[in-house]
Amino acid sequence: MDPPSLPRLVGPALSALCARRLPTSSRPLAADSVFASQQPQHQQLSLGLACPAPSPGPRREEKEPGSLRSDAPESLLGSPASARPAAGSGARGAAAAAAAGVAAAAAAPGMYQSPRRLCSALLQRDAPGLRRPPGPPPRRRSPAPAAAPRPTSPRLLAAASAARGVARLCSRTARPMGSRLCSALTKTLDGSAASQHPEYLVAPDLEHLEPIDPKELLEECRAVLHTRPPRFQRGFVDLRADGPRSSHTPIRVMQWNILAQALGEGKDNFVQCPLEALKWEERKCLILEEILAYQPDILCLQEVDHYFDTFHPLLSRLGYQGTFFPKPWSPCLDVEHNNGPDGCALFFLHNRFKLVNSANIRLTAMALKTNQVAIAQTLECKESSRQFCIAVTHLKARTGWERFRSAQGCDLLQNLQNITQGAKIPLIVCGDFNAEPTEEVYRHFASSSLNLNSAYKLLSADGQSEPPYTTWKIRTSGECRNTLDYIWYSKHALSVRSALGLLTEEQIGPNRLPSFNYPSDHLSLVCDFSFNEEP
């Protein structure tokens, strides 16, 4: 289906649906009038929640358009401290605004990629009242493991209480019908809409927003997490060999499969992980806390399904420039109340690097386009004027797909061969390869003409062995401990100065990952790189 034709096809049905479900006073907001409107969608969708649409800097008082307004400071994490209906609106008006906002969001082609049009609707679906439909009780409800409490203060506790109040307000004013409608219409779009309409993959320019202090964001995260155990402590291992030292600041790269929210709650069946540990309002703070703790210059992520409403708005204000490339047929879209497709995301600090070239790659296997993607960008260091290429990917999962992964890996290597001009440009490749070191795709990378080495092998005693695991989980099918994540680098041009140590089995605990302590089933990998010689 051609996405621009979607409004004409679903308009009449959506109009009838709104007429049945909305109060009489709200029926003039029919779907046809919404489709014809040329006003920015973030104005129509506003429910008093923050979104990456144009707005003043953090913690300033402003009136939101629409039926709800906020008179309290804006939270950096995407929710104002408080919100209430405007005078004369009432509960019926708020419900009508919620349903009309969802109808407006559904009208946009490529709706799940458009941050300006769908931000408020996506944030509504973060509300606890909309996350899970009525049904059987959760499979497991257990309290968080006992541990020393995080540092708290009256200010932090007040912030956490305010955030919970906003979530309760959303659950009262927004209709579950809206989330189901958005999800259903998302699935009717052609899976290739992302590539056909690249304008929806470009996030809005956020330069007008004031920068935020990482310490302030970290404080807000800790306010939300104050009842959880403290985060795991990991140290860096110095890997510098004797010899000349680079005079330039090292390049810190983080690789991490952060676990898509829709998959964690709806598909992955982590039987030893309580559902409370997967709540997005808290899990996103654990992810941000991990990123803020290591302060990478370059961040390579997989399974990102909250790019536009969480990671891009926040990381942009921390000084990062980001790119997102979703999977054409993301399994997240099969989950009710999903937040759109998951994909790969690449961020870099724009005060350290200049973007020279960028390529979004849909991987092929056996001459067929696949559901897996990669991003490759050539960056120039502003300090040294040296160029290098950074790539992020996520290959096909599951046992039995080894040959398929091998073909995807060969296709990626060929693309990188062209981008780096036959290895003339140094290369770093981060990814969840879903492949053990014994697989063919691993051997392809290790023996490539690009002259690549795996950075985490250097943590072993002989420098030739991969870590025993980068993911450790328990599903209904059993316990899985595997090494699937890697950071490859051009060993002729780059050196690994240090690497972040992995969590021990004792730290991970008997219930494995994810958990109240750690937000993903994959461990983050972090390395510091330097160029081998001056140009």
Element (H, E) at 284: helix 280-294
Please report whether residue 320 resides in a domain. yes
Summarised one tens digit per residue, pLDDT across range 407-430 is: 999 999 999 999 999 999 999 999
How far is 31 from 358, CA to CA, in rounded Å?
38
Q: What band does 247 get if pLDDT is binned at 50, 70 and 90?
A: confident
Please report whether residue 451 resides in a domain. yes
Tell me the average pLDDT of the chain: 75
Angle between the N-to-C axes of helices 214-224 and 280-294, in degrees from 0 to 180, rounded to the nearest 10: 140
Longest dimension (CA), the chain: 78
Instruction: Give me the residues paired with residue 378 across strands.
Output: 357, 389
Please report whether residue 125 resides in a domain. no
Q: What band does 327 get if pLDDT is binned at 50, 70 and 90?
A: very high
DSSP β-ladder status, 452-454 and 471-475: unpaired
Please report whether residue 324 resides in a domain. yes
Q: Mean pLDDT over residues 362-376, rounded?
A: 97
- What residues make up the domain containing 428? 249-531
Please report whether residue 447 resides in a domain. yes
* Amino acid at residue number 37: S
Is 406:439 a contact under the CB 8 Å cutoff? yes
Q: What is the pLDDT of residue 406?
A: 98
Q: What band does 51 get if pLDDT is binned at 50, 70 and 90?
A: very low
Please report whether residue 476 resides in a domain. yes
How far is 395 from 316, CA to CA, in rounded Å?
27
Please report whether residue 107 resides in a domain. no
Residue 516's domain is classified under what CATH number? 3.60.10.10
Say which residues have a Cβ less than 8 Å from residue 508's Cβ, sequence separation at least 6. Answer: 472, 515, 518
Please report whether residue 464 resides in a domain. yes
Instruction: Give me the residues paired with residue 84 across strands.
Output: 69
How far is 234 from 290, CA to CA, in rounded Å?
11
Is 375:361 a contact under the CB 8 Å cutoff? yes
In a 10 Å sphere around its CB, with 0-12 CB exposed, 13-18 middle and 19+ buried, how is residue 441 labelled?
Answer: buried
Q: What is the pLDDT of residue 410?
A: 98
DSSP string, 245-266: PPSSPPEEEEEEE---HHHHHH
Q: What band does 534 get if pLDDT is binned at 50, 70 and 90?
A: low
Q: Mean pLDDT over residues 68-80, rounded?
A: 52
For 148-168, b/e burial (b = at least 16 CB within 10 A) is eebeeeeebeebbebbebbbe
From the CA atom positions of the chain, what is the Rg in Å? Answer: 23
Number of domains forming the structure of the chain: 1
pTM reported for the whole predicted model: 0.68
Is 310:326 a contact under the CB 8 Å cutoff? no
